């Protein structure tokens, strides 16, 4: 494995997002000195926060899976997840609501899910679900240590018995047909394949290997931290500070000082010069490459994932049909992906993710009020240069009309405060082409073909975050920080200890 050559005692991590904080904790655990430079006045990065009229809004990810990866990160400095976070397991993990009026609760408990599948689709699909669940577990086990939690130096690294095992499991087939081989009910097929959109690929084109995301969501379990998703950044940053990290909030990195093939210092817009032996950059790849003064060495341009419009609404009431996480599917399915990815259009019959965090933590809203997060996937700004200043008000009204038509009667009149986020807003935050989901997981941008975390031509610059390996999503971003730290320390994998998770069950 290629590593940063000595000396590498003081590392500057640019960005206090989850990737940067994960990298910092692993570096601190290996005895390195760490300075974290963050442009915002708080940690979390994409797991952002907004306080509005007494509502405590998470502006980034809403779904937390694989908490053992966080526990491993805390353990690198002798702490545990249970000491820093109060995680509540969600039952059900999701509720899926369909255009025909039917609903399916997605349980991670196998017995409960078998009964739910039997209720809506009969014995055949109930048996198919058990086979699918076993396959998802085998798929995850085949990928984690060899294809996800690993630093690649060459595609030749793929050649291994695990590659043959993944092929034998059907990991190189297509996701949608593979899921259909287990489940005949189209509603169930959607539940176990919609996750590929977050990887930037439709289920019809995504590799079946990306069913590993469905494993994380539907088998391993979904959690929510009391205090909101913002609590993740706060907890990780607190552990880093207690372990000796120096955190510079409100500092924007403006330039990297370079001598030959090494970065020697990080310079901020506020006039600070921070000498370093190595630097870990966690911003979106185009921003990182601009800061480095170089372009990625790729034969074709990077392809980016679709974006999303998010409506944050604090309301005076809620609706009993909503779970903590509800996926509201329209009639359209295949056409939805075609509109977003190929045609560069907003969805004509949208499928939406609706999160109601106050279902689990009422303290996120004023007494008697509720908080709703409505996410509508949409094209990124490269695929569709929509003028969102003109389009946003109309699209906001269309979203609310859709919610009301799907059973949330009176939603518009119940809004006390709101905040709309569009691709233009994501772009202003520094997300390339206005997408918070970074580079897509096409085959040419997967595994060893994904932009690597060691920067060509520089000996001590490392990348972390969802644009590099292993990819998009909260669990993989946490792993990316660990992998970046390993490029500095040369650390080999260590066995994970069992996770102890506090909270109600």
Question: Per-10-residue mean pLDDT for the chain, 505 residues long?
Answer: 92 98 98 98 94 97 95 97 96 96 97 98 98 96 85 72 84 94 97 85 89 92 97 98 98 96 96 97 93 69 91 97 97 90 92 97 98 96 93 97 97 98 95 92 81 92 94 93 97 46 36
Rounded CA-CA distance 92/397 in Å is 30
The answer to whether residue 427 is domain-embedded is: yes
Same domain, 314 and 407: yes
Same domain, 310 and 408: yes
Whole-number pLDDT of residue 157 = 66
Rounded CA-CA distance 142/139 in Å is 5
The answer to whether residue 94 is domain-embedded is: no
The answer to whether residue 330 is domain-embedded is: yes
Same domain, 374 and 271: no
Cis bond upstream, residue 7 (ω within 30): yes
Judge residue 320's burial from the number of C-beta atoms within 10 Å of its C-beta, 0-12 exposed, 13-18 middle, 19 or more buried: exposed
Return the SS3 of 485.
helix
Rounded CA-CA distance 309/161 in Å is 42
* Total domains in the fold of the chain: 2
Same domain, 430 and 392: yes
Please say whether the beta carbons of 78 and 203 come within 8 A.
no
Same domain, 242 and 364: no
The answer to whether residue 291 is domain-embedded is: yes
Same domain, 322 and 392: yes
Q: 171, 185, 207: which is closest to 442 by C-alpha?
A: 207
Same domain, 283 and 234: yes
Same domain, 287 and 315: no
Cis bond upstream, residue 41 (ω within 30): no
Q: Which domain holds residue 356?
A: 305-437
Same domain, 277 and 310: no
Same domain, 381 and 485: no
Dump strand ranges (E) for 186-230: 222-225
The answer to whether residue 158 is domain-embedded is: no
Same domain, 264 and 350: no
Rounded CA-CA distance 318/504 in Å is 23
The answer to whether residue 353 is domain-embedded is: yes
Same domain, 366 and 244: no
Rounded CA-CA distance 201/442 in Å is 7
The answer to whether residue 247 is domain-embedded is: yes
| Residue 405 token pair | 């038509």
- What is the DSSP code string of 411-467? HHHHEEEEEEE-HHHHHHTT-GGG-TT-B---GGGSGGGSPPSBPTT-SSEEE-STT
Whole-number pLDDT of residue 298 = 58
Strands 33-38 and 246-249: parallel
Please count the CA atoms within 13 angstroms of the CA of 297 that sit on its side-chain side.
7
């Amino acid at each position: 494995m290629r590593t940063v050559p000595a000396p590498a005692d003081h590392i500057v991590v640019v960005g206090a997002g989850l990737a940067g904080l994960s990298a910092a904790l692993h570096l601190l655990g290996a005895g390195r000195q760490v300075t974290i430079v963050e442009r915002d006045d708080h940690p979390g990065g994409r797991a952002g926060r907004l306080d509005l009229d007494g509502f405590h809004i998470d502006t980034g990810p809403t779904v937390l899976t694989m908490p053992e990866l966080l526990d491993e990160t805390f353990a690198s400095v002798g702490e545990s997840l249970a000491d820093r976070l109060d995680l509540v397991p969600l039952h059900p993990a999701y509720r899926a609501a369909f255009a025909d009026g039917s609903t399916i609760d997605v349980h991670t408990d196998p017995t409960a899910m078998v009964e739910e599948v039997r209720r809506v689709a009969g014995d055949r699909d109930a048996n198919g679900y058990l086979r699918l669940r076993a396959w998802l577990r085998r798929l995850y086990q085949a990928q984690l240590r060899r294809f996800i939690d690993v630093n690649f130096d060459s595609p030749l690294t793929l050649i291994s018995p695990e590659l043959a095992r993944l092929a034998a499991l059907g990991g190189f087939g297509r996701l949608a047909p593979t899921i259909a081989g287990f489940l005949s009910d189209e509603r169930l097929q959607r539940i176990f394949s919609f996750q590929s959109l977050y990887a930037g690929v439709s289920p019809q084109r995504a590799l079946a290997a990306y069913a590993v995301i469905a494993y994380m969501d539907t088998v391993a379990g979904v959690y929510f931290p009391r205090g909101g998703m913002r609590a993740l950044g706060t907890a990780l940053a607190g552990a880093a500070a207690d372990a000796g990290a120096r955190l510079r909030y409100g500092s924007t990195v403006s330039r990297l000082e370079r001598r030959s093939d090494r970065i020697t210092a990080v310079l901020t817009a506020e006039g600070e010069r921070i000498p370093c032996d190595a630097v870990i950059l966690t911003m979106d790849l185009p921003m990182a490459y601009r800061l480095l003064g170089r372009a990625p060495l790729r034969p074709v341009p990077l392809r980016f994932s679709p974006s999303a419009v998010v409506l944050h609404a604090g309301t005076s009431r809620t609706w009993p049909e909503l779970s903590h996480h509800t996926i509201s599917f329209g009639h359209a399915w295949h056409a939805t992906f075609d509109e977003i990815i190929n045609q560069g259009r907003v969805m004509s019959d949208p499928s939406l993710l609706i999160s109601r965090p106050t279902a689990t933590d009422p303290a996120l809203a004023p007494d008697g009020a509720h908080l709703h997060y409505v996410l509508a996937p949409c094209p990124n700004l490269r695929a569709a240069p929509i003028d969102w200043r003109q389009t946003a008000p109309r699209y906001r009204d269309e979203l609310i009309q859709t919610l009301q038509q799907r059973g949330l009667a009176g939603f518009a009149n119940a809004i006390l405060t709101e905040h709309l986020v569009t691709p233009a807003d994501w772009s202003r935050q520094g997300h390339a082409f206005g997408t918070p989901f970074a580079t897509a997981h096409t085959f040419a941008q997967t595994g060893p073909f994904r932009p690597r975390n060691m920067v060509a031509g520089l000996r001590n610059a490392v990348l972390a975050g969802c644009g590099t390996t292993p990819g998009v999503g909260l669990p993989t971003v946490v792993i990316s920080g660990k992998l970046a730290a390993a490029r500095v320390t040369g650390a080999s994998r260590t066995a994970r200890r069992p996770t102890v998770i506090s909270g109600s069950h």
